[in-house]
Chain A
Amino acid sequence: MILVISTCKVPFSEEEFVRPITEIVESCGYSFHIKRYHEKIDFDEYSKIIVCGTALRDFDYLNYVDVFKPLLNYAGKVLGICAGYQILALLYENRLEEVEKIGIHKVRVIEENPLMPKNEFYAYFLHIYALSRTNDKLKMLAVQNGEICAFKVLGKDFYGVAFHPEVLNREIVERFVSL
């Protein structure tokens, strides 16, 4: 069972940021549960977790990073998308910087990884915060104009992508659920 976590303060945004993810999960033949970011969650009930993005003006999830602390001891696999990337970055004590990025940009993969086998690809971004450097708990996987747009948590199968793979790179989500 895959857990899909909504980070949307306004549930109407879930049509835009959660439903496209659950449709990909479903099309790969997996079942899923949806939980919201401020709920108490027993992560261990799930083999994989996807933390979805939210609207550009929505930052409420940043007040609930502590809800995700049990992930530090979670043995399954996690994919953080945009807001989910930010939550993972903060959970592992990284500092987000203000980087407004809206639209399509070319991503350069700098470290071989199971989610992004290509060297370069175009991705759709919609964020205000991202990382430009990481501490030693994260490994950079891909960059875009000085921004770290994909990382892996060292020693874990936790991935963060700053862009929205559901828009132009749904194969990234497909590969994650098949890991």
Chain B
Amino acid sequence: MRVCVLYSGGKDSNLALFKAWKVFEVACLITLFPRSEECYLFHYPNTQLVKLQAEALNLPLITEACLDDEESNLKALYKALKGAREEYGIDGVVTGAIRSTYQASRFQKVCWDLGLWCFNPLWLRDEISLLKELLDHNFEAIFTRVAGYPLKKDLLGKRVDERAVEFFKKIRYYVNPSGEGGEYETFVLDMPLFKKRVKILEYEIRGEDYDATLVIKRAELIDK
């Protein structure tokens, strides 16, 4: 089966890609660029950098811009998937949805309407076990956004590592440990499928504790 992966560049879509890679032919990645962090369906920070990640993966990338409202999101998703079906002959779509029925039901509906299979390999997984799985497979992901107490801006730029997993274990009753509700966002610099790794050359941190973003201004691919 040929599939595309809905790809934000963060830890969940990369883990979904990693799993799909073992069983499917991954034909392309699809990234939607929402206008702001207000978007519920797609991730916002540093989405322009997925072009570098796609290059690191040696996979074609289909991008589609959208506004923040649901109608615009779904139209953009429909258009991108239709394009992927026509250009790459995909039969299915892989997403990194974990627990969000809002995301999952919308992805399912668009896939059904386009005659595509929808796969959600992280669905209902325990969030802490997912974080551990990233570490087990040597994913190098950094925090790029925090949005809510008790996530301070000093978390930005730090790696998702053992300490971070322990931290999220402690606060799991306040904060979804996967950040699926937008509590935090990540960006993957390296993972086993990357032929090269992403090196950040210039960044800026905007915002205050509990609501801050690490904006990557310049980055490049370097040998691993």
A: which residues have CB within 8 A of B? 10-13, 15-16, 19-20, 23, 55-58, 100, 102-104, 124, 126, 128, 166-168
Kindly state the separation between the CA atoms of A23 and B129 in the bound complex, as whole angstroms. Answer: 13
The reply to whether A13 and B112 contact each other, CB–CB distance below 8 Å, is no
Instruction: Chain A residues near B23: list those with CB within 8 A.
Output: 11-12
Q: Which of B19, B101, B122, B125 contacts A167 (CB 8 A)?
A: B101
The contact sample of 6 A-B pairs, CB cut-off 8 A, is A12-B24, A16-B121, A19-B125, A23-B124, A58-B117, A103-B105
Kindly state the separation between the CA atoms of A55 and B121 in the bound complex, as whole angstroms. Answer: 12
- Decide: A16 near B119, CB < 8 A? Known: A10-B1, A104-B101, A167-B101: yes
Residue total for B at the interface (Cβ-Cβ under 8 A): 23
Kindly state the separation between the CA atoms of A12 and B118 in the bound complex, as whole angstroms. Answer: 11
Q: Which of B111, B122, B125, B126 contacts A56 (CB 8 A)?
A: B111
Smallest beta-carbon distance B119→chain A, Å: 6
Q: List 12 additional A-B contacts (Cβ < 8 Å) besides A13-B119, A16-B124, A124-B105.
A: A10-B1, A16-B120, A16-B121, A20-B124, A55-B119, A56-B112, A57-B115, A103-B105, A103-B109, A104-B101, A124-B101, A166-B124
The reply to whether A56 and B124 contact each other, CB–CB distance below 8 Å, is no
The reply to whether B101 and A55 contact each other, CB–CB distance below 8 Å, is no
Instruction: Chain B residues near A12: list those with CB within 8 A.
Output: 19-20, 23-24, 119, 121
- Decide: A126 near B108, CB < 8 A? Known: A10-B1, A104-B101: yes
In the complex, which residue of chain A has the Cβ closest to the Cβ of B24?
A: A12
Number of A-B contacts (CB under 8 A): 60
Smallest beta-carbon distance B12→chain A, Å: 14
In the complex, which residue of chain A has the Cβ closest to the Cβ of B22?
A: A12
Query: Which 10 interchain pairs have the tightest Cβ spacing?
Result: A103-B105, A20-B124, A16-B123, A15-B121, A57-B117, A102-B109, A16-B120, A102-B108, A102-B105, A12-B23
The reply to whether A100 and B101 contact each other, CB–CB distance below 8 Å, is no
In the complex, which residue of chain B has the Cβ closest to the Cβ of A126?
A: B108
Is B116 interfacial (CB 8 A cutoff)? Answer: yes
Instruction: Chain B residues near A128: list those with CB within 8 A.
Output: 112
In the complex, which residue of chain B has the Cβ closest to the Cβ of A170?
A: B124
Instruction: Chain B residues near A166: list those with CB within 8 A.
Output: 124
Kindly state the separation between the CA atoms of A102 and B181 in the bound complex, as whole angstroms. Answer: 21
Smallest beta-carbon distance B20→chain A, Å: 7
- Decide: A56 near B118, CB < 8 A? Known: A104-B101, A126-B108, A168-B101: yes
Q: Which of B19, B105, B125 contacts A104 (CB 8 A)?
A: B105
In the complex, which residue of chain A has the Cβ closest to the Cβ of B99?
A: A167
Kindly state the separation between the CA atoms of A36 and B184 in the bound complex, as whole angstroms. Answer: 38
Instruction: Chain A residues near B123: list those with CB within 8 A.
Output: 15-16, 20
Smallest beta-carbon distance A7→chain B, Å: 15
In the complex, which residue of chain A has the Cβ closest to the Cβ of B108?
A: A102
